Copies of this chain bind each other. A is one copy, B any other.
Amino acid sequence: MANKLKEFIAEVKPKVDAFIAEILKGEPKKLYDAAYHLPSVGGKRLRPALVIMVARTLGATFEEALAPAASVELLHNFTLVHDDIMDKDEKRRGVPTVHVLYGEPMAILAGDVLYAKAYEALLKAPQRPDIVVEMTRMLTWAAVTVAEGQALDMMFEDRWDVSEEEYIEMVKKKTGALFGASAALGALSASKPELKDLLKEFGILLGIAFQIKDDILSLVGDEKVTGKKKYNDLKEGKKTLLVIKALERLSEEEKKKLMSILGNQNATDEELAETANLIIKSGALDYALKKADEIGKRALEILNSLPTKNPEYLELLKELVDFAVKREY
């Protein structure tokens, strides 16, 4: 991550985290402990940073963007808690997941509380009521759309004929929507509803690039750096862009091999590594990297068209696009 972006995030993270810690206090303690677990153990805070950077670029103060920033992080954590239950993932951010620590019933409720608290946070925004209503509408759109994306992601696990187009549509919903809402909330934080659709489009592109890179890191990343279990996507049979392209390009025999491992929970580490090599060899990795890069460029074009009040924050947004595409974690 570029130094300036790193510094910016290091500066805003404690403030966002303090807001989240404060709003996640309540009784019964066990419920709030379960809800606070995931946000308390880390996370990059990219979505709140995005809200604040867009808001500052368009002339808002930090304070005007804090509540929406905390809101999107809460919504993000809600989706992760439920996602981990659905995928039966046992680790996230290097530590056991909420359902492993508190049991599934409490984890479902913890997710529900994080979701409700995302609205509670948003409703603390200091903007005019008509802007707050627009913000609430944007958060709701994101919540609906992320759920649709998660459902598609899950349904694709049972299919072998997922197209690149379908994958992009799924990722646009699963990851793009919340990045899109974050950027749009930044515009609304600056009381610029006329810019919310353009920023939403920017955020969606950023999110898609981010997710493609996320899929890549699950295949070739360093577990110690990413904090996520490698090859998890392969084990779960996720139809990532990498898999879709590999299925197109491999020989019949190699394709059969790939299909025998994909979604096989009992696959050994050796088999998974072999499968990863097959995918890389097919050229799918290069294709996905190029795709993420292209989408990142489209996001940059939007940034260059913005009526910027604070150019230093525009630079940070460009660095964020760069990070989404090139990061190692």
A30 adjacent to B155 (CB under 8 Å): yes
A150 adjacent to B120 (CB under 8 Å): no
* Chain B contacts for A144, CB-based, 8 A: 26, 113, 116-117, 120
A108 within 8 A of B: yes
Binary flags per residue of A131-144, CB closer than 8 Å to B gives 1, else 0:
01100110110011
Q: Is the interface of A mostly helix, strand, loop or mixed?
A: helix
Query: Roughly how many angstroms separate A115 CA and B117 CA in the complex, as a whole number?
Result: 13
CB distance from A324 to the nearest CB of B (A): 25
Query: Roughly how many angstroms separate A27 CA and B155 CA in the complex, as a whole number?
Result: 12
* Chain B contacts for A86, CB-based, 8 A: 104-105, 108-109
Q: How large is the interface on A (under 10, 10 to 19, 20 to 34, 35 or more residues)?
A: 35 or more
Which chain B residue shows the least CB distance to A134? B129
A179 within 8 A of B: no
* Chain B contacts for A108, CB-based, 8 A: 82, 85-86, 108
Given contacts A86-B109, A108-B85, contact A133 B123 (CB under 8 A): yes
Which chain B residue shows the least CB distance to A128? B129
Given contacts A123-B133, A129-B129, contact A116 B27 (CB under 8 A): no
* Chain B contacts for A119, CB-based, 8 A: 119, 136, 139-140, 143
Query: Roughly how many angstroms separate A137 CA and B70 CA in the complex, as a whole number?
Result: 17
Interchain Cβ contacts under 8 Å between A and B, 13 examples: A26-B144, A27-B148, A28-B151, A28-B152, A28-B155, A30-B155, A31-B147, A85-B108, A87-B105, A113-B144, A113-B147, A119-B139, A133-B136
